[in-house]
Structure formats: C-alpha cells, structure tokens
Amino acid sequence: MATRWGICSAGQISHDFTVALKSLPPEDHQVVAVAARSFPRAQDFAQRHNIPRVYASYEDLAKDTEVDVVYVGTIHPSHLPVSLLFMNAKKNVLCEKPLAMNLREVQEMVTAAKLNSVFFMEAVWTRFFPASLEISRLLAQGEVGEVKMVRADFGTPIAHIPRSVEKELGGGALLDIGIYCLQFVLMVFDGEKPECVQATGVCLDTGVDEAMVVTLKFSRGRMAVCRCSVTMALPNDAVISGTKGSIRVPEHMWCPTSLVVNGKETQYPVPEPYLPINFTNSTGMRYEAEEVRQCLLKGMKESLRMSLADSALLMEIMDEARRQVGVTYIQDCQ
C-alpha cells in the first residue's frame, strides 16, 4: 500500500518535494492532499501536481483521515505550531529544517511526538543521499583511517530573499544554510557531542547573522570548521581528513552527487525532475521520503539515520553559536 502524503504549504520547497515524490513509484508514494493559508495558491498547487484534495487551512488537512504523513514546508518560525497541530491530530510528520527556532522548541516537539506515538523527523535530506550513505560506509570501514579534521562550507548570495535575512521570518545564515555544515560534521562523527563550540560572525542590520564560522572540538583532538554566509559564494564543498586519506564532496555539500575518495571521483546522480524545480538537486528529496516510508512500514517512530537526538544536538550547537555571536529571536525570550 502506498504511503499517502499531505503537503503543508504551497511554497517553493513544497513544490520541489512534491516533484521529488513523483520520481518514486506511485505504488509506494502518493500525494493525496495539500493545504495552504491561501486557498487559490493551494488550488494552483493541486492543479499543477494533480493532487485530489485541497484545503484552505492546515487544520482541515490535519482532519483528513486518508493522510498517513504530512510534509511541513512552512517558514522556520511556524515549524513548532504547525508540527504540533499535526502531531496532536495523530499525524506522522516530516518537518523541514531547521526543526525549530531553538532547543526548547525542539524538545517540545519531541515530547509531542512521543506523547502522540507518531513518527517525527527533521527533513535534513543530505543524510539520505546515496553519496552520504557511502561516506558513512567508508568511515565505518576505516577507509581514511581516524578522522582528524572536517571542513564544510555553504555560502551563497541570498540576502535579497526576505526569509533568509528577516528576523521575524527566522532568517540568518546559520539557521538557513549553516545547519547543513553542522549536520555534516555530526554525521561524520556519528552524533558525538563536541567538547567545545566556538563561533564568530557578522550580523546584518536586521539582527541576524550574515556570516558565521563555527569551530568544533571533539574528543581525541578531532576538530571541525564550518563556514556559512548569505551574502557571499563559498566553495560549498566539504572535506573529511583522516590519518590514511581523505573524502571530499567537491560541490553542493548539502545535496551531494559526487565523492572524491583518496583522489578517485565517483558520481551519484539524482533523477531528472518532471517539472522545473527551484533548488539544486531537489529530486534528491526522494531519499528522505523513502526513509520515512521504510520507517513507517517497520513501525518506527524516528529514523536511525536522522534521529530526534541528532536534531536536538544540532539545535543545541546552533543555540550556543548564536549566543556567542549575539543573534536572538523572539522565541528565545518565551
């Protein structure tokens, strides 16, 4: 039986996620409903993607008994209330990153998921790309020896996009794109909590971080450096350096389609989209969708690949980095 998806929000990321779902077998994944605060936008979205049911409110989507799991593609500050709405209606939820605005909100969401006995996962799609799975396999086999240093960069000039720079929209380089660098590091170090977090950054007039550098120190003298920016282009690659070699993601480290292992490159292409997409390699979101399906089929309430503990640690590190740089949101004062 197919996993029946409801789409919450009719924005660009929801469009790309729906396109990614259509690259999977229809007997496994079906999009059966969409909801948006603007009913005309929801209708247009449904028509474009051939979705049978359209709702003018998230509340109505939550009441749909034929939806197995909801993809939440709203802006960052609404992730908490919207996810709680669905989980309290006993709906499984895949919520876009960042899971919430701070650790307190993440903990509230995790509590709700457990209380309602539903599946809940942060949509850190990077974790599920074939290239990322290969990285984990190579590290487990000791292909590069002991990892001593990781560097990950993500910088792109997107300051013209309000949601990337406006505080009330949850903007800022770290929450918007730096999260990909940090999650990559935590993936490499298998979810280990760093011993030390040091961050420095530059803020925009809006009060959010324009650019940030975060240095992490782990046990046994292992380190990581993450750089992110919403005003400049960075190499957008990642390098894992070990005692016996290295693994490099040469481009698009947040959606990797190639790896260079000890000098040898291998490609991992994603499927072509059936409609134009908004973001690089977006059909790669199919991998996280399939992870959700497999977890549901096994009766699991969270993914082992991107666990709720992983999301909590990721947010804990970002909270500390923001504290050091002086970036606060209204959610931090509640």
pLDDT above 90: residue 249: yes
* pLDDT per position as a tens digit, 74-121: 999 999 999 999 999 999 999 999 999 999 999 999 999 999 999 999
Q: Tell me how far CA of residue 107 lies from CA of 51, 84, 146, 317, in angstroms.
A: 33, 12, 33, 14
pLDDT, position 293: 98
* pLDDT per position as a tens digit, 170-203: 999 999 999 999 999 999 999 999 999 999 999 9
pLDDT above 90: residue 247: yes
Calculate what percentage of the chain has a pLDDT beyond 90.
100
Query: What DSSP letter does each residue of 200-259 carry, written as one string?
Result: EEEE-TTSSEEEEEEEEE-GGG-EEEEEEESSS-----EEEEESS-EEEE-S-TTS--EE
CA atoms of 215 and 223, how far apart (whole Å): 7
Tokens of 101: 């605005």
Backbone angles phi, psi at 99, to 5 degrees: -55, -35
Tokens of 73: 């593609």
pLDDT above 90: residue 272: yes
CA atoms of 286 and 253, how far apart (whole Å): 17
* pLDDT per position as a tens digit, 51-72: 999 999 999 999 999 999 999 9
Is the CB of residue 318 less than 8 Å from the CB of residue 331?
no
* pLDDT per position as a tens digit, 201-241: 999 999 999 999 999 999 999 999 999 999 999 999 999 99
Q: How many CA atoms lie within 13 A of 325 on its CB side?
A: 29
Provide, for the chain, the percentages of residues in helix, strand and coil under a 3-state DSSP scheme, each rounded to the nearest 5.
40, 25, 35
CA-based nearest residue to 329, from 104, 49, 97? 104
CA atoms of 126 and 306, how far apart (whole Å): 10
Q: Which residues of 155-191 are buried (b: 16+ CB within 10 A; e: fewer)?
A: bbebbeeeebbbbebbbbbbbbbbbbbbbbbbbbbee
